[in-house]
Amino acid sequence: MGVLAYVAKRFGLYLAVLFIGLTITFMLPRFMPINPVDGYIGQIQSRANGTLTPEAIAEMRVNLEVLYGLKGDIFTQYLSYLKRVVIDFDFGPSFTYYPTEVSTMIVTALPWTLGLLLTATVIAWLLGNMVGLVAGYFHKHKAASILEFVGILLYPIPYYILAVSVLLILAYIFPIFPLSPTFPVGEMTWAKVGMIIYNSLLPAITLVLAGFGWNILSMKALAVATTEEPYVTYARLKGASNWTRMTRYVFRNALLPQVTALALSLGMIFNGALLTEIIFSYPGIGLIMRTAATGGDYNVLYGAITLSILAVATAGLVIDLIYPLLDPRIRTK
Amino acid sequence: MSFDTNNADPVALVVAPPVSVKPGRKKGGLLWLLNARLAIGLIILLVMGLGSFILPFFAPADPSIQATYMRNLPMSGVHWLGTNSLGQDIFWFLVFAIKNSLMLGILVAVGVTIVATIVGLSAGYIGGMFERIVMLFVDTFITIPLLPILIILGALIRGNTSFFTVGLIIIIFGWAWDARTVRAMALSLREREFINMARFSGANTVDILAKEIFPYVSAYILVGFINTVLFAINTEATLAVIGLSKVEVPTLGSIIFWALSYNALFTGQYPWIVAPIVATVTLFLGLFLTSTGFNQAFAAKRGVS
């Protein structure tokens, strides 16, 4: 099979997944019982102390429906939605923070989410894989089972429990970190950057702990299996040192599934990131979504979900495309 | 290849591909470890399960009703873990929470297992265009991040529906991982030596399904089932913690939701926040140990070793 055919096939799947994802995203909020236009009109009405005439309200309703793409039957809405999202990446203005554009809100929040998420995921992956490799390579030693035990203990703990425990231990019992962190916005100075990093440590620690346990367990299982392979035995007979065998022979081969896992866990941590941001009031996409969900803010929800689907699907695509580079066996097939 | 564990999240897929089976190959010494895992897990589950299902019959009052007792009482003989800021007994609230969470988890796991088995097996055995279309949907459902969707739906259904609608929604968005695993299993089974062996020995399809495939598959389904219970409890609790589930119903998540929204951390009400943490960690550890313990025990029994 040619490389081109492989890439084309994978890309086709990517587009199909995106299309179905976008369609489901479009349909979901339409079933919400909260009618955002009614809510918005109610807000303006109460601000004007009920002095608006019915004609003015009717006119406002028409204007709002046009503005938010709620005009016409659901099929027309769907077509114009696809056109706006796919071609312009435009989600319209937010209801709650009118006239701020949703894309502006997302662009402001995205660096926060990405900064926290990428750093924490990569650290958790590296640390977990190192510990897992050692635990797997030396799995006949008693000490190795202690390392694995850390993984067993950490992995099944739900994310919110980790977050609350970390908060309890590191902010309350040992007040190293602030209980309610603040994240200054606006112009960046060095003092502010320091403060942001300091305040981000708590959510970051939670994210690292959450990803850590799983990486240990999976890397350990892979390393144990690889250690039993004949070529590792051969390397030992050849006189290769423990270190060389562990890194060059076992690690290199056990790494492959872990790279796929990294992409998948990026998707899962996108879930985790939302929760972190809500629990630690960290100003990223998660916090925006939470506010949008309670306020019935369609456009913001669309934007945030579309973005997360896009991110997860793209991560999968990229990993699948660079996989042949990492695994020479696939290339030669 | 087949995955040894199926799970509602990608995480366990790699935790236990057949690789984890290999330790059993070496000596009988490790077999003791496997059994220990399973035993500890089962004991935890048995104690927590029986406790949370039997104790509620002796509850002095429904713990979800507010202002039954004085607020913020310390730990005492009458209120083992004290009372919270809503005038509820923390111990009884916790017992009901474990019961409700377990019930939800089991119901969701039943639903997910049924849907995933039907979808996965049919895709794996029918194959062709049907398989491709089904797998496209499965891949899409896996790609759509669960929590954002649940946040929307949580906002949508909150307050005006029952606790079990939450479970239904988790089923709708949680079956895809399991379906994928079941399909992988079906594909690999088609090619297995022992299936061919049985066929060549003259066994008919029903015989093969009942005597060869089912014993093999049932182990996976059991492990997958436990993992789905874990996943469901976790998902509902996550929703509850951010206040988007039915928070009036005691669950492992809603208890933390109330503790956080009444600032139990600031007011120093340790039992309110520590008790559910300890309970959740113990329960999840029990479920996890049971699932991996089963996994290894089955692997050893199958004669992979």
Q: What is the ipTM of this complex?
A: 0.74
CB A155 within 8 A of CB B292: no
Tell me, what's the pLDDT at A39? 65
Q: How far is A230 from chain B (nearest CA, A)?
A: 14
Measured CA to CA in angstroms, residue A299 lies from A26, A98, A305, A306, B299 at distances of 10, 11, 10, 10, 50
Measured CA to CA in angstroms, residue B81 lies from A73, B55, B142 at distances of 56, 16, 41
What pTM does this model have? 0.78
Last residue of a domain, one of A24, A55, A87: A87
In this structure, are A128 and A10 located in the same domain? Answer: no
Main-chain dihedrals φ then ψ at residue B203, nearest 5 degrees = -75, 140
In this structure, are A76 and A107 located in the same domain? Answer: no
**16-35 in chain B: CB under 8 A from chain A:** 16-17, 19-20, 22-23
In this structure, are A168 and A73 located in the same domain? Answer: no
**252-281 in chain B: CB under 8 A from chain A:** 253, 256, 260, 265-266, 273-274, 277, 280-281
In this structure, are A33 and A124 located in the same domain? Answer: no
- What is the residue-averaged pLDDT of chain B? 77
Q: Is B148 on the interface with A (CB under 8 A)?
A: yes
Of the ranges A277-281, B148-152, B228-232, B271-275, the best mean pLDDT one: B228-232
From CA B163, how far away is CA B246, in angstroms rounded? 6
CB A199 within 8 A of CB A183: yes
In this structure, are A151 and A40 located in the same domain? Answer: no
Tell me, what's the pLDDT at B220? 79
**Residue range B235-259: average pLDDT?**
84
Contact A20 B230 (CB under 8 A): no
- What is the residue-averaged pLDDT of chain A? 79
Nearest-CA neighbor of B47 among B224, B294, B248, B287? B287
Tally of CB atoms within 10 A around B198: 17
Q: How far is A307 from chain B (nearest CA, A)?
A: 10
Nearest-CA neighbor of A182 among A282, A83, A270? A282
Measured CA to CA in angstroms, residue B82 lies from A272, B10, B29 at distances of 32, 40, 46
Q: Based on the structure, what is the number of domains in chain A?
A: 2
Q: How far is B7 from chain A (nearest CA, A)?
A: 12
Asked whether residue A181 is assigned to any structural domain, the reply reads yes
Contact B17 A221 (CB under 8 A): yes
Last residue of a domain, one of A87, A112, A137: A87
Asked whether residue A63 is assigned to any structural domain, the reply reads yes
- Could you read off the pLDDT of B125-167 as tens digits, one per residue? 777 888 888 888 888 887 777 777 777 777 666 556 677 778 8
Contact A268 B10 (CB under 8 A): yes
Main-chain dihedrals φ then ψ at residue A45, nearest 5 degrees = -55, -45
A263 or B5, greater pLDDT: A263
Is residue B97 classed exposed, middle or buried when 0-12, 13-18 and 19+ CB atoms within 10 A define those classes? buried
Asked whether residue A97 is assigned to any structural domain, the reply reads no
A29 → closest Cβ in B11, B152, B288:
B152
Asked whether residue A164 is assigned to any structural domain, the reply reads yes
Q: Given the structure tokens 């049971």, which residue do they identify?
A: B290
End-to-end Cα distance, chain A? 8
From CA B74, how far away is CA A43, in angstroms rounded? 44
Q: Given the structure tokens 């739906």, which residue do they identify?
A: B153
In this structure, are A162 and A281 located in the same domain? Answer: yes
* 3-class secondary-structure state, position A319: helix
Residue A188 gets which letter from DSSP? Answer: -
* 3-class secondary-structure state, position B58: helix
In this structure, are A132 and A184 located in the same domain? Answer: yes
In this structure, are A140 and A185 located in the same domain? Answer: yes
Tell me, what's the pLDDT at B21? 41
A158 → closest Cβ in B145, B234, B266:
B234
Last residue of a domain, one of A56, A87, A118: A87
Contact B152 A28 (CB under 8 A): yes
Contact B140 A159 (CB under 8 A): no
Look up the CATH number of the domain holding residue A130: 1.10.3720.10
From CA B171, how far away is CA A4, in angstroms rounded? 38
For the record, the structure tokens of B100 come out as 């409700």
In this structure, are A79 and A164 located in the same domain? Answer: no
In this structure, are A178 and A219 located in the same domain? Answer: yes
Contact A31 B156 (CB under 8 A): yes
Asked whether residue A247 is assigned to any structural domain, the reply reads yes
| Residue of B1, B40, B152 for testing the chain A interface, max A β-carbons within 10 Å | B152
Asked whether residue A96 is assigned to any structural domain, the reply reads no
CB B155 within 8 A of CB A294: yes
For the record, the structure tokens of B116 come out as 């995933």
From CA A36, how far away is CA A55, in angstroms rounded? 19
**Residue range B261-268: average pLDDT?**
77
Assess whether pLDDT exceeds 70 at residue A57. Answer: yes
For the record, the structure tokens of B270 come out as 């340790």
Of the ranges A75-84, A101-110, B187-196, B229-238, the best mean pLDDT one: B229-238
In this structure, are A42 and A119 located in the same domain? Answer: no
Assess whether pLDDT exceeds 60 at residue B290. Answer: yes
Nearest-CA neighbor of A220 among A174, A257, A180? A257
B283: confidence class by pLDDT, cuts 50, 70, 90: very high
Residues of chain A above pLDDT 90, percent:
1
Contact A267 B154 (CB under 8 A): no
In this structure, are A13 and A115 located in the same domain? Answer: no
Tally of CB atoms within 10 A around B190: 13
Nearest-CA neighbor of A132 among A244, A201, A242, A227? A227
Asked whether residue A147 is assigned to any structural domain, the reply reads yes
DSSP, residue by residue, A140-180? TSHHHHHHHHHHHHHTTS-HHHHHHHHHIIIIIISTTS-SS
Is residue B303 classed exposed, middle or buried when 0-12, 13-18 and 19+ CB atoms within 10 A define those classes? exposed
From CA B227, how far away is CA B239, in angstroms rounded? 18
From CA B276, how far away is CA B282, in angstroms rounded? 10
Asked whether residue A160 is assigned to any structural domain, the reply reads yes
Tell me, what's the pLDDT at A186? 63
From CA A293, how far away is CA A291, in angstroms rounded? 6
Residue B20 gets which letter from DSSP? Answer: G
Containing structural domain, residue A22: 2-87
Residues of chain B above pLDDT 70, percent:
83
Contact A21 B151 (CB under 8 A): no
From CA A273, how far away is CA A204, in angstroms rounded? 10
